[in-house]
Amino acid sequence: MIVGLDVGGTNARGMLIDPDSLSIVGQERASSAGDGAVLVETLRGLVERLVGDEQPTAVGLGVAGLAQRSGTVRYSPNLPDLIEYPLGPALAEATGVPVATLNDASAVALAEARLGAGRGADDFVSITLGTGIGAGVVVDGSLAQGAFGFAGEVGHMVVEVEGPTHHTGQRGPWEYYASGSALGAQGRAAAAAGEFAAGVALAGSVDAITGFEVAEALRAGDDDAARIFDGFCRWVAVGCANLVMIMDPQRIVIGGGLSGIGQPLAGGVASWMPEVTLGSAHRPPVEIRMAELGDEAGALGAGLFALESLPAD
Amino acid sequence: MIVGLDVGGTNARGMLIDPDSLSIVGQERASSAGDGAVLVETLRGLVERLVGDEQPTAVGLGVAGLAQRSGTVRYSPNLPDLIEYPLGPALAEATGVPVATLNDASAVALAEARLGAGRGADDFVSITLGTGIGAGVVVDGSLAQGAFGFAGEVGHMVVEVEGPTHHTGQRGPWEYYASGSALGAQGRAAAAAGEFAAGVALAGSVDAITGFEVAEALRAGDDDAARIFDGFCRWVAVGCANLVMIMDPQRIVIGGGLSGIGQPLAGGVASWMPEVTLGSAHRPPVEIRMAELGDEAGALGAGLFALESLPAD
């Protein structure tokens, strides 16, 4: 049996996976609060609850942050107590089982590649639109982790060098414009200008509007929401076009917190792609698809990564 | 024997390569003018001059433009007569030898990977700074061509959405700021403002200044040129930082028309990288190196590509 772990800023999710059928045969959750030692104990407990007396073959560990291939978390805005902490090796030590570590958005990409919306595409990019933007890049059927394991930090790609300063300190990174948080900010800006009454009604006040209220008003057919959302989709497409220039994916898969919007999101981004993609008349259109695996993709992908990257015994 | 061909906007270069030693055993050149049929005949002639009565095992064909894996040139600003022309298949037909087609900047990357400045790095990006910016991306030791063969068009990555309109029609693409042409434009702008007298002296007039005069004044120790060049290096670094976010290369190799500047270019870009790379305190520094193979890299890389991608008989 394989265990996949997905460690986010609030929760850690564990999944028991049958290595032959790749089906999910157990799931557990725990809080991810605490420093490195506490988290290792939490994750060890999760593994134990999942496998009982059995020993898993391997553990895959997906972490929200810069997770080095070696298993050290170099930096994580969501897990500030983990900076420079060797989470993977410490968990291997605690469980006695090999641990393969990767970034959580890369884990999502691998799961979608093998079992979800990436199937049938050897070259694709999976992006997750939430608080920020994460991504996993699949090249010739394999996850591209990069030299150190940090590939896919596409939210920090600068698309407006002279743009506004993001909370990361960068000016004009893609996630300033195209994350789930950005959709909320664009809704608040419209509401503050008196152009999103439906959002104010749904959220209670201008300041309480998030991406979810924009999505809800969009679903309800509100024209203001449709306009806000169209502008947002253009920003998503602008960054996707950059990824297309650099990596030439056949497909881009959209997941994360905003994926509840569903097909209107994929359709909205797709509608902007020809306009923002240079030479679109001379290249096949890039498929824009919604992710298929939802919240389970991270832990599932971490497990698949362990299965694919650790030597079978 | 393997033949590598490098088809640019003005010239086609042919190279005969020993597949065992990978050494260059012959070179020929010809004009690349004319439509598809004329170019095929030119290239067939080049192959014949290189191999004599012998039959080469395979031909690698590097083309300046969007060259589809199948060998069709979808679009090439430098070879306008070749749009949608199946150059690879037509050459295979004319020579009776299998032809493997790729983009010229990808060919450069493969040559640098195997025999030049990319050696020892499994993940690196090679960029060529000339009229525009081309690139080749190497992932886990293999050339990443993308789904259709169009990967590496990094010059069209937008870094300033609201920026000036480039001749491609895009606003604010990287090559507007960081190509060899851009260095010339930055020199002319400084000269027009009365802040680059050395450039005017070298070129004869403000309008005649190109990147080469900036480079020459830089070499001569001119302070204005140093300031222009530093600003240019920042722009190169801005795009490199985006590539680092997306692909996490261990190294970036700089070649192309500006590579004559040499180490000051690599050093200038490297000096800006920590400032423009998010989280640079938590990630190993990316090595910035000058390309090693010069003008020969394109044809050499095309030959290597044929060797690596076509089945041995």
CATH code for the domain of A170: 3.30.420.40
* Predicted confidence (pLDDT) per residue in B235-245, tens digit: 999 999 999 99
pLDDT grade for A312, boundaries at 50, 70 and 90: low
Q: Mutate which of A154, A248, A277 to test chain B, going by most B C-beta atoms within 10 A? A: A248
Mean pLDDT of all residues in A56-83: 91
Same domain, B219 and B305: no
Domain residues for the domain of A37 are 2-110+295-309
Q: Which residue of A has its CA nearest to B134?
A: A246
Q: How many residues does chain A have?
A: 313
Contact A32, A304 (CB under 8 A): no
Q: In this model, does residue A274 exceed pLDDT 90? A: yes
Looking at beta carbons, which residues of chain A come within 8 Å of B279? Answer: 66, 74-75, 156
> What is the crossing angle of helices B36-51 and B87-95, to 10°?
40
**A56: closest CA among A6, A11, A95?**
A95
pLDDT grade for A4, boundaries at 50, 70 and 90: very high
Cβ of B159 within 8 Å of Cβ of A162? The answer is no
Same domain, B132 and B161: yes
* Confidence (pLDDT) at A2: 96
Same domain, A157 and A79: no
Residue B115 falls inside a structural domain? no
Same domain, B220 and B254: yes
Same domain, B59 and B100: yes
Q: Which residue of A has its CA nearest to B252?
A: A147
Question: Pairing state of beta strands B11-17 and B2-7?
Answer: antiparallel
Looking at residue A308, its amino acid is: E
Tell me how far apart the terminal alpha carbons of chain A are, to the nearest angstrom.
Answer: 12
Looking at beta carbons, which residues of chain B come within 8 Å of A83? Answer: 282
User: Mean pLDDT over all residues of chain B?
Assistant: 95
Same domain, A222 and A305: no
Min CA distance, B154 vs chain A (Å)?
5
Same domain, B100 and B146: no
* Confidence (pLDDT) at B77: 79
Residue B279 falls inside a structural domain? yes
CA–CA distances in Å: residue B31 to residues A227, A256, B35, B72, B188? 52, 52, 12, 20, 31
Contact A189, A215 (CB under 8 A): no
Residue B66 falls inside a structural domain? yes
Same domain, B126 and B274: yes
Between CA B127 and CA A138 the distance in angstroms is: 21
* Confidence (pLDDT) at B312: 61
Min CA distance, B301 vs chain A (Å)?
19
Is some CB atom of chain A closer than 8 A to the CB atom of B275? Answer: no
Residue B283 falls inside a structural domain? yes
* Predicted confidence (pLDDT) per residue in B168-196, tens digit: 999 999 999 999 999 999 999 999 999 99
User: Mean pLDDT over all residues of chain A?
Assistant: 95
* Predicted confidence (pLDDT) per residue in B267-279, tens digit: 999 999 999 999 9
Q: Can you give the three-state secondary structure of B69-130, one letter per residue?
A: CCCCEEECCCCHHHCCECHHHHHHHHHCCCEEEEEHHHHHHHHHHHHCCCCCCCCEEEEEEC
Same domain, B272 and B129: yes
pLDDT grade for B313, boundaries at 50, 70 and 90: low
Same domain, A53 and A167: no
Cβ of B247 within 8 Å of Cβ of A156? The answer is no
Min CA distance, A150 vs chain B (Å)?
6
Of A140, A251, A278, the CB nearest to B156: A278
The answer for B 141-170 residues in CB contact with A (under 8 A) is: 142, 144-154, 156-163, 168-170
pTM, to two decimals:
0.96
Min CA distance, A248 vs chain B (Å)?
5
* Predicted confidence (pLDDT) per residue in A78-99, tens digit: 888 888 999 999 999 999 999 9
Contact A258, A213 (CB under 8 A): no
Same domain, A18 and A63: yes
Total count of domains within chain B: 2
* Confidence (pLDDT) at B53: 87
Same domain, B243 and B300: no
Between CA B85 and CA B73 the distance in angstroms is: 5
Residue B97 falls inside a structural domain? yes
Between CA B114 and CA B282 the distance in angstroms is: 30
Residue A125 backbone class (left: φ over 0; alpha: ψ -120 to 50; beta: rest): beta
